[in-house]
Structure 1
Amino acid sequence: MQMESRQVPQKSIQTFFSILKDYINQQEMDTFATPMTEELLDDLCYLGAIHSVAPVLYYMFRKREKELVDLWPEQMNWLRQQYIFAVTRSINQEIGKKEIQEAFRSQGIPVIFFKGIQIRSYYPVPETRTMGDLDCLIREEDRSRAHEIMTDLGYSCSADQGNVWVYSKGMVVIEMHSRIAGNNISNGVDYMQFFSDAMNRTIEEDEELCLKKEYHFCFLIYHIAKHLSSTGAGVRMFMDLVIFLKHYGMAFDKEEEERLLKEASLDKVAVTIGNLCNRWFGFWWGIEEMPEEVLNELEEYVVAGGTFGFATHNIGDVYRRKSYEKPGTGRDTEQKRTIKMFWHYLFPGKEYMSMFIPGVKKQTWLLPAAWVKRGWIGLFRRRQHTFSTIRSMTKNDGNRSYREYQMLKKIGL
């Protein structure tokens, strides 16, 4: 099927959210109060694709599958393929997770799986919660031993710098973190430090070590905020929050969660996220009123962008948005913003550059060497990505970037 980026009518978006809401609540097809048409099914397939929830749509269509297949075989066959692939990958990922847990347990090394791989088990049909990789957390001092275990299990390592090492074997990709957060949000909070005690915020559930629920939820809010500040955060991340809260129900400590969010300066963005979740899925622990205009702007940004915003944005948009931060005296000219934008791109700070030379974190004088190494990689190993980013930075979309910068500031980012 052709999945070119396009604008989806509001009626199709409403039907999309109605289906997801029915899925979360396990309600049967109240969804088709709106008659199905080929145009609507095309829109739903497109939204399902860019937000990585196509398997959910197929699951919800299953009782009308024969009828829909007879009318629109191409769309329904595509949805079925997405569902089958999701189930197959889910089985492989669960096998990989168990294998890693057992291997680490036998060596006395704690490992915590978090984010999607944990939340998936709370979904009404876990296999429909798609994910490209599995996130897990280890202690920094266990990194070398963890690497040996992973290679002994047959995993190949494709990234071995910084706080996140990446391993893969077949359909299973593992992101192994020694820290779960970085300082990717321009609100002045040191999130790397705030979440640095994650290994001490654990509890055992169903014989697995996992993050305490309120702490994990605070991190999930941060994770959405981080992606909103970058290229975008998709609907699936918001679904995760609702399903997380519904799973724990009365066992979830709202006061503790509100305290954590306030400490992390995420309380304002959490209110916005909560309002959207309530609008889309009819569920949140408590709603505070906020301007509809801001909610509408954020909804448009999220829905159009897809899972990580890549349907409408790329990393060049992030640098363009950064050019509006900390304006000088008077109004910055377009030329000044362009200089500022390229400065951010060419000379990132030591936290980011530690991926290229880890010693940069403690030895700032190594920064120029790290910039040179990054430049060489960008020109000779990632040339296509580099020039794509530069083209995006220089295209004439300053008005959109400024509107998004203003919108993000209004929600605390």
Structure 2
Amino acid sequence: MAETLVDIRLYYAELIRACLEKRKPAPIPEKVSLNDLLSYAKTGQISYPIFSSLIKLDIDEEHADTIRQALKLSTFRTFMQMGAFTEITNALEAAGIRHQVLKGAIIKRDYPSPEIREMSDIDLVIYDESLDKAAKVMEKLGYKNHGIIKHHMIFTKGNDLYVEVHWCLFDESVGHSQHLYFNDFRARRIDGKKYTYEFSHEDFYVYLIAHMAKHFFETGCGIRNLMDIYIYVNKYGEQMDKEYLDKELEKCGIRDFEREMRELAFIWLDSRDCPEFYENLFAYMLDSGIYGKGENGVWGQLAKETVAGNRNIKVHYYFPSIKFMKEKYTWLNKAPFLLPIAWAVRGVCGVSSKTSREHRQQLESTDKDNVEKMLDIYHRLNLNFRK
């Protein structure tokens, strides 16, 4: 583990705590570059807590001006998003459309100030068969309808408001069992409302972790997720039913993932001693930006194919097991003897697929020690999303 990344981990914890505690942080350590602090904060979408602490230090005017402008923009965006959140949910309620706001717009309210927790978009789910009706409500509010993209509808207003309207809580193309789990209606109607829903504290936390796990399995995810865990558990941990949480996390196949991420969140932000596994995990997440990198998708799939200490990594990548191949080529269920043909089809398709090329390049360019380090992370987190 590079010593500089350890220093960044420790100093980021100091900057974030200083923001939460509304105090001046300790000076920047000699081994830590201000530019690195700014860069990682921007790509990880944790600029506000980092910048709001750094601006209290004696730094050069050029950097100070950049930070002040970024803080103004972030604060303005939060103001716009929170206003839009209220306007949209009120309009959907008035139109009699059952709906629920998700993720960032909800957890923002659990931070000491909502601007501390940045978000790129407002996510909400529409229940029943009301998508067309919801689209008309959004358009009436002045949003541009960009249509259906993947598993949601996209709406924008100006340069600062981006809204994703979903019709299910978890995309089936990522994980079938998780999709079925969240299709089992768990939300409750908000007091005083007829059509506006929310999760209990426990169910929100399960959804928060499931969404994080999905990103981590597919491409990795950033350290802002650790902030969310730290804030949420500190605020609601004693109130939540731990037996229920363990049971529901187990149903989603993310109990090990939650345990390790919660441990890392508190190691990091409480500045506890950090074992090597968690140093490696933090460094990987720090480098992953906010939603990960396409090339990182190779690790989750390889972890499903291998066991700890396995040395035949490339064999497993180029010639996956029939269990793995059946997930994509369902015709193998009836004709497993055609596995070599499925391998050939996969290879041909991989040549023209950008994602496959990224995965292959990542595997080929990563040395043996780092491959084993990455697989150790994914094996220990024990994620097994299946289509």
Give the TM-score normalised by structure 2.
0.78
Structure 1 pair 388/333, CA: closer, same or farther in 2 (3 Å)? closer
Pick the aligned partner of 1:49 from 28, 42, 53: 42
Task: Decide whether the 8 Å contact of 1:19 with 1:60 is kept in 2.
Answer: yes
Residue equivalent to 2:209: 221
Partner of residue 75, structure 1: 63
Q: CA shift at 1:340, angstroms?
A: 5.3
Return closer, same or farther for 1:158/1:86 CA change in 2, 3 Å cut-off: same
Choose between structure 1 and 2 for higher RCO, CA contacts under 8 A separated by at least 6 residues: 2
Q: Deviations over 1:32-71 (max 9, x none)?
A: 1x55559532232122122211111222244x35x32xxx
Kindly, what percent of the aligned residue pairs are identical? 19
**Contact 1:21–1:280 under 8 Å retained in 2:** no
Pair 308,12 (structure 1): closer, same or farther in 2 beyond 3 Å? same
Q: 2:298–2:359: 8 Å Cα contact kept in structure 1? A: no
CA distance in structure 2 between the aligned counterparts of 1:336 and 1:225, rounded to whole angstroms: 23
Tell me what 1:247 maps to.
Answer: 235
> What's 2:381 paired with?
411
Partner secondary structure for residue 251 of structure 1: coil
1:295 corresponds in structure 2 to 278
Residue deviations 1:214-273 (CA, integer Å, cap 9, x gap): 001011111221122122121111111221223335433333322322332322111101
Task: Return closer, same or farther for 1:335/1:245 CA change in 2, 3 Å cut-off.
Answer: closer
CA RMSD across the alignment: 3.6
- Following the alignment from structure 1 to structure 2, what is the Cα–Cα distance between the partners of residues 387 and 250? 46
Unaligned runs of 5+ in 2: 331-344
Is 2:97 the partner of 1:109?
yes
How many residue pairs were aligned? 353
- Counterparts in 2 of 1:143 and 1:276: CA distance versus 1, 3 Å: same
How far apart are 1:316 and its partner, in Å?
Answer: 3.2
Question: Are the counterparts in 2 of residues 323 and 338 from structure 1 also a CA contact under 8 Å?
Answer: no
Change (3 A) 1:158 1:97: same
What SS does structure 1 have at the residue aligned with 2:45?
coil
Find the partner of 1:194 among 181, 192, 203: 181
> What is the match of residue 16 of structure 1?
12
**Cross-structure match for 2:72:** 84
Which stretches of structure 1, 4 residues or longer, exceed 4 Å deviation after superposition?
34-39, 183-186, 205-208, 330-333, 347-350, 386-389
Match of 1:362 in 2: none
Query: Contact 2:246/2:255 (CA < 8 Å) preserved in 1?
Result: yes
Q: 1:44 to 1:149 in 2, by over 3 A?
A: same
Asked if the contact 2:123/2:164 (under 8 Å) is kept, the reply is yes
Q: Are 1:185 and 1:225, in contact at CA under 8 Å, matched by a contact in 2?
A: no
How far apart in 2 are the matches of 1:320 and 1:249?
Answer: 31
Q: How does 1:317-396 map to 2 (within 5 A)?
A: 317-319=296-298, 322-323=301-302, 325-326=304-305, 334=314, 337-338=317-318, 387=354, 390-391=357-358, 393-394=360-361, 396=364
The answer for the alignment partner of 1:182 in structure 2 is 171
- 2:262 equivalent among 265, 274, 285: 274
Contact 2:6-2:279 within 8 A present in 1 as well:
no
User: Partner of 1:97: helix, strand, or coil?
Assistant: helix
Note the C-alpha offset of 1:348: 5.3
Contact preservation (8 Å) 2:4, 2:32: no
CA contact 2:154–2:165 (8 Å) conserved in 1: yes
Residues 70-109 of structure 1 show CA distances to partners (whole Å, capped at 9, x for unaligned) of xx22222222222111111112212221221121111111
Amino acid across the alignment from 2:113: V
Residue type at the aligned position of 2:9:
I
Q: 1: distance between equivalents of 2:382 and 2:316?
A: 25
The letter for the 1-side match of 2:382 is G
* TM-score of the aligned structures, taking structure 1 as reference length: 0.74
How far has the Cα of 1:8 moved from its partner? 4.2
3-state DSSP class of the match of 1:160?
Answer: strand
Post-superposition shift, 1:211? 1.4
Using a 3 Å threshold, how does the CA distance of structure 1 residues 49 and 220 change in structure 2: closer, same or farther?
same
Deviations 1:92-146 (A, max 9, x none): 2122212211211111112211111111112122113211111111114111211
